[in-house]
A and B are shown apart, each in its own frame.
Chain A
C-alpha cells in the first residue's frame, strides 16, 4: 500500500517534470521560429503593410499611457527625494538623481510593464480567440505559416517600437521631474540642469534603450506564445492573458537584472578608455 502510494507520488512528480520540460521545449522552438520568421519578414517588402498595421496598434496607440507613466514617475521621484537631499543640504543635486533613475531603471521598466499590460494583453486575447475559433488552423489549412503571418509582424513591431516608447517615457519623466523640482520646489533651474548634464551620460540613456529591445522581444514572445497555446473557451483565453502578463512581467524583471549586471561589467572594462579619450 505504502509502496503503491510512493510509486504514484514519484509518477506524478515525474510527469509534472516531463510536462514542464516539454513546455520549455515548445516555448523555445516557438521563439526560435518567431525570430527566424521575423528575420525573413524584414527582407520581404510585400509583408511591410502587415508590420505597419501592427506598429500602429502596438506603438502609436501606446504613446499616451507610456507618457503618463513616465511623467508620474518623474514627479513622484522629485517629491520623494527632495526631503532627503534637502536634509543633507544638496537639494540642487536632485536633477541627477531623478534623471539617472528615470533614464536607467524606472523609465524602461515601468514603461515595459505598462506595455506588457496594454499590448501583451491585447496580443494574447486576439491570438487566443483566433486559436479557439480555429482561425489559426485556417491559416495553416491554406498553406501559410501562421507564425510568419501572425507572429512575425507583431514581434517586429514590439521589438522596434518599445525602445521608442521608452524614450518617450524618459522624456516625460525628465519633464515631470523638472516641473516639480524647479517651479514647485524652487530649485535653481541652471543648477538643476548643470548637475543633471554632468551626472547623466550618453551611456546611461543607451542602457535604457538597449533594455527596450529586450523587453519588447520578451513581451511579444510571451504574449504570442500564450495566445497560440491557449485552452478552449472564453475562460481559456482569459487564463492565457493572465499568464501572459505575469510571465512577461517576471521576464522583464529578470532581463533587467541580467542586463544591469552585464552593462556594469562592460562599463567597468571600458571606463579606463574613456579617460584616455
Chain B
C-alpha cells in the first residue's frame, strides 16, 4: 500500500477491518474504499466471509478491530439509535430474503416506509408498492404471504423492500441466486438502471460471474479473510493467479476432487451392514 486510506476517500470506507467468531478468523485486516455511484462486486468461495463483510457496512455486525466510515463519518462505534438514521439511507438485501412471514408482500414493502414517514395518502402508498414490485417483476402479488412464494419470488420481493426507501447505497447479498437466467438479467439491468439514473452506489455479493462482469465497475475477490484481487472486469479475466482463474472459470482443483475419486471405489451400504 502506497498511502494510508482516508475516511473521505469514498462514500463507504473500511479501514483495517478484522472480525473473528471465537477462534474462526473471518475477516483479516481488510481495507476498502467504495466510490460513490459505482457498482462494486464481491466474489469469493462459499464461506469466505462475503456476507459478514457487507453486514459490517451497515453495522449489523461490529468489527473486532478497524473502522467503518459512511460519508466521512465513523459509524462502527455509534449506538443503535444513531445508526437507525444512517440505516435508512442504505438498503440491505439478505441472502435468505428475511421477509416478515407474518406480513403480506404489501405490508413487507410498506414496513420501512411506515416506520420512517407519516404517509396519510393510502393511494400514494399503493402506487409506491406497485412501482417497486413492478421493478422486480412481482406486481400483482401484493396480497400474498411469503410462505406461498417460491425462493426466487421471495428474493425479488425482498429486493423490492430493500429499495423501498430509495436508499443511496444498496447492499445486495446474492441477488440473482435462485433465479432463472432471464430474471437474473432483469435484476442485472435493474442494478445498472439504479446506478445510471439515480446514481446509487451498489455493493453486490454474487457467485454469478456473468452478472458480475455485466454490472461491475470493480470486482473484489475475497479469499481466506483477505482481499485476493481488486480490479475491473478485464483485469480479473486476465489475472495470472491460478486460484483466481479457477474460481472465475468454475474449475475444481485436483485436491477438491480427491474425495470424489476415492469414493469411485464406492462404499456400498450392503458392505457396511455385515
Contact = CB atoms under 8 A, between A and B. Distances in A.
B85 interface: yes
B94 A134 contact: yes
B87 A145 contact: no
B88 A143 contact: yes
A137 B99 CA distance: 11
A185 interface: no
B106 interface: no
B98 A137 contact: yes
Interface in A232-260: none
A126 B102 CA distance: 10
Contacts of B112: 142-144
Contacts of B83: 143
Interface string B16-49: 0000000000000000000000000000000000
A114 B101 CA distance: 27
B70 interface: no
A80 interface: no
B140 interface: no
A144 B84 contact: yes
Contacts, number: 54
B2 to A, nearest CB: 35
A141 to B, nearest CB: 4
Nearest to A144: B115
Nearest to A129: B101
A134 B84 contact: no
Interface residues of B, number: 26
Interface in A123-168: 126, 130, 133-135, 137-138, 140-145, 149
Given A134-B94, A137-B94, A142 B60 contact: no
B251 to A, nearest CB: 32
Contacts of A133: 96, 98, 101
B241 to A, nearest CB: 33
Contacts of A130: 100
Contacts of A135: 98-101
A141 B115 contact: no
A143 B94 contact: no
Interface of B: 58, 60, 80-81, 83-88, 90, 92, 94, 96, 98-102, 111-112, 115-116, 118, 161, 165
Given A141-B92, A142-B87, A142-B111, 8 more contacts: A126-B102, A134-B94, A137-B98, A141-B87, A143-B84, A144-B84, A145-B81, A149-B115
24 contacts: A46-B118, A133-B96, A134-B94, A135-B98, A135-B100, A135-B101, A137-B98, A138-B92, A138-B98, A138-B99, A138-B100, A141-B58, A141-B90, A141-B92, A141-B94, A142-B87, A142-B111, A142-B112, A142-B115, A142-B161, A143-B84, A144-B84, A144-B115, A145-B84
